């Protein structure tokens, strides 16, 4: 790996709201309290991981920058895009969120604006089925069920849902 | 307690948070019975199913259930400018795109009517939830990555509603674009969150047929949130809460 490529990796990390989120929903951490599995294909030294994750945090500056492809190894889905949603006027007040995508994963969602007041936010939360498309931290991810393209009985044996069902 | 059965060729998992007693078991049984009855009515594989007989012009008075499913299909077909179509390119009807979500939603209504307020029904990847898994917590539904089976692309928390996903990755390209009669290839997966599974299911299939433009379209058709995955793995998403107020 060249130095230039390494820098690319670092910038890419900085753009993320936290590298832990890259491990997003890896099912290494799903059913039980397992430690997060390392991300295959990640070329990032552990020390840098910590630094970057502690860095940009959830400042949420809408930054529609796209980093070039991951200089790392075979991981196919690592370009990062942060998209600021439009401000939506809801009956409960203005709502705006910023979503960071890493390839196929939602790496982070930051609420830029939300209706204030406990009462109104409760109503707003109830009014939409989505409370948050939140960061799925591998350690804290709690998944009760999994939605996916319809699987047959054969596919089911391979599916995460079968693991969840076996657990219960 | 989870109850597992395979109906409509699909593993279905019903998670009732009530105690596993006679009442719960009887309710779970009646929910699966309802699904089996609708499967018999709409099965494309049984020559004597009402759907097959209807296709051959042998049904004078469709049952209310058949009439309802045909009406839902016609509504989505019109709303999607023909992209969603239960008529197969080669003739015949394939009501699967409507029936599963509709029937599971009915089974859930049955359970609710019997007083079950905290449940999660997963029908082969299409999900309806009511209440929560425990006090103070909503159901957390993971959305599977189309590219990597054991990864999620999103996690959504839903208190009451449905999450449906249509994709090409489990059963191949079984969704075609009714406008062209060709396999839909603009997306590999589409997930829709809506108030009920009938809506979520038909919208997810429609988005897959329509391609990336279907995301915004679905938000105007009752979707609360949509996530679509392109073949290269990039995402398109839309949130009804972020649309300018009408």
Determine, yes or no, domain membership for A153. Answer: no
State residue B130's pLDDT score. Answer: 93
Which chain B residue lies closest to A101 (C-alpha atoms)?
B235
Chain B CB within 8 Å of residue A152 CB: yes
Domain count, chain A: 1
Note whether residue A105 is domain-resident: yes
Is the pLDDT at B176 greater than 90? The verdict is no
| Within-domain flag for A17 | yes
- Is-contact B206 B214, C-beta < 8 A? yes
Parent domain of A21: 3-140
Of residues B38 and A40, more confidently modeled: B38
Across A53-57, B32-36, B215-219, the highest mean pLDDT is recorded for B32-36
Q: Please tell me the predicted confidence (pLDDT) of residue B25.
A: 97
Q: What is the pLDDT of residue B115?
A: 96
Does residue A131 have a pLDDT over 70? no
Q: Do residues A13 and A107 touch, judged by C-beta distance below 8 A?
A: no
Provide the CA B225 distance to its chain's centre, in angstroms.
Answer: 15
> Distance between CA atoms of A26 and B169, rounded to whole angstroms?
19
- Digit-coded pLDDT (tens) for B178-207: 888 888 889 999 999 998 999 999 999 999
Partner residue opposite A150 with nearest CB, options B10, B151, B243: B10
Evaluate if residue A72 carries a pLDDT over 80: no
In chain A, the percentage of residues whose pLDDT exceeds 90 is 0
> What is the band of B116 on the pLDDT scale with cuts at 50, 70, 90?
very high
| Residue B106: pLDDT over 50 | yes
Cβ-contact A136, B152 below 8 angstroms: yes
Please indicate, yes or no, if residue A160 is contained in any of the structural domains: no
**What's the CA angle centered on A135, arms A133 and A140, to 5 degrees?**
120
Instruction: Note the pLDDT of residue A125.
Output: 31
Q: Which chain A residues are Cβ-neighbours of B191 within 8 angstroms?
A: 147
- Closest C-alpha among B139, B231, B35 to residue A143: B139
Please check whether residue A151 lies inside any domain of the structure.
no
B43-78 per-position pLDDT tens digit? 988 999 999 999 999 999 999 999 999 999 999 999
CB contact under 8 A, A149 and B2: no
Nearest Cβ partner of B233 from A27, A76, A106? A76
Residue B147 has φ and ψ, to the nearest 5°, of -95, -35
Dig out the tokens for B9 from the structure: 């060729």
Asked whether residue A8 is assigned to any structural domain, the reply reads: yes
Query: Is A120 buried (19+), middle (13-18) or exposed (0-12) by CB count in 10 A?
Result: middle
Fold of B2-242: T-fold (3.10.520)
In a domain, A19, yes or no: yes
Which of A26, A88, A168 lies closest to B151 in CB terms?
A26
Parse chain B into domains and list their residue ranges: 2-242
Among A76, A101, A147, beta carbon nearest to B127: A147
Residue A62 lies in a domain: yes
What is this model's ipTM? 0.92
Bridge partners (DSSP) of residue B155 are B142
A21, A86, A148: which to substitute to probe chain B, counting the most B Cβ within 10 Å? Answer: A148
Q: Where residue A107 falls among pLDDT bands split at 50, 70, 90?
A: low
- Which B residues in the span 129-188 are in contact with A, Cβ-Cβ below 8 Å? 129, 133, 138-147, 149-161, 163-171
Residue A50, Cβ neighbours under 10 Å: how many?
12
Contacts A160 to B, Cβ<8 Å = 142, 144, 149-150
Residue partners of A120: CB distance under 8 A and separation at least 6: A92, A93
């Amino acid at each position: 790996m060249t130095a230039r490529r390494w820098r690319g990796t670092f910038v890419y990390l900085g753009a993320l709201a936290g590298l832990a989120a890259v491990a997003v929903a890896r099912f290494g951490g799903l059913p039980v309290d397992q430690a997060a599995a390392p991300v295959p294909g990640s070329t990032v030294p552990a020390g840098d991981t910590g630094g970057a994750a502690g860095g940009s945090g959830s400042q949420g500056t809408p930054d529609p920058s796209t980093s070039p492809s991951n200089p790392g190894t075979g991981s196919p889905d690592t370009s990062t895009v942060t998209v600021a949603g439009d401000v939506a006027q809801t009956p409960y007040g203005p709502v705006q969120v910023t979503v960071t995508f890493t390839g196929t994963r939602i790496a982070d969602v930051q609420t830029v604006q939300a209706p204030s007041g406990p009462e109104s936010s409760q109503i707003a939360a109830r009014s939409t089925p989505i409370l948050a498309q939140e960061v799925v931290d591998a350690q804290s991810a709690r998944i009760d069920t999994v939605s996916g393209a319809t699987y047959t009985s054969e596919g089911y044996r391979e599916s995460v849902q079968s693991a969840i069902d076996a657990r219960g | 307690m989870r109850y597992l059965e395979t109906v409509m060729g699909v593993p279905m998992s019903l998670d009732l948070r009530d105690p596993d007693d006679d009442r719960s078991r009887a309710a779970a049984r009646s929910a699966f019975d309802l699904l089996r009855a609708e499967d018999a009515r709409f099965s494309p594989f049984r020559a004597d199913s009402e759907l097959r007989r209807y296709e051959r012009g042998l049904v004078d008075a469709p049952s209310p259930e058949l009439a309802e499913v045909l009406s839902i299909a016609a509504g989505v077909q019109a709303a999607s400018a023909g992209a969603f179509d239960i008529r197969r390119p080669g003739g015949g009807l394939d009501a699967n795109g409507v029936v599963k979500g509709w029937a599971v939603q009915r089974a859930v209504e049955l359970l609710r009517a019997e007083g079950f307020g905290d449940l999660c029904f997963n029908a082969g990847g299409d999900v309806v939830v009511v209440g929560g898994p425990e006090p103070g917590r909503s159901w957390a539904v993971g959305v599977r990555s189309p590219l990597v089976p054991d990864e999620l692309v999103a996690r959504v928390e839903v208190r009451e509603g449905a999450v449906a996903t249509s994709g090409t990755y489990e059963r191949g390209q079984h969704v075609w674009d009714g406008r062209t009669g060709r396999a839909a290839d603009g997306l590999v997966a589409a997930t829709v969150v809506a108030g009920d599974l009938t809506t979520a299911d038909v919208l997810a299939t429609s988005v897959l047929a329509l391609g990336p433009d279907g995301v915004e379209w679905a938000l105007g058709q009752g979707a609360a949130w949509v996530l679509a995955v392109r073949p290269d793995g990039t995402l398109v998403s839309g949130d009804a809460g972020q649309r300018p107020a009408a």
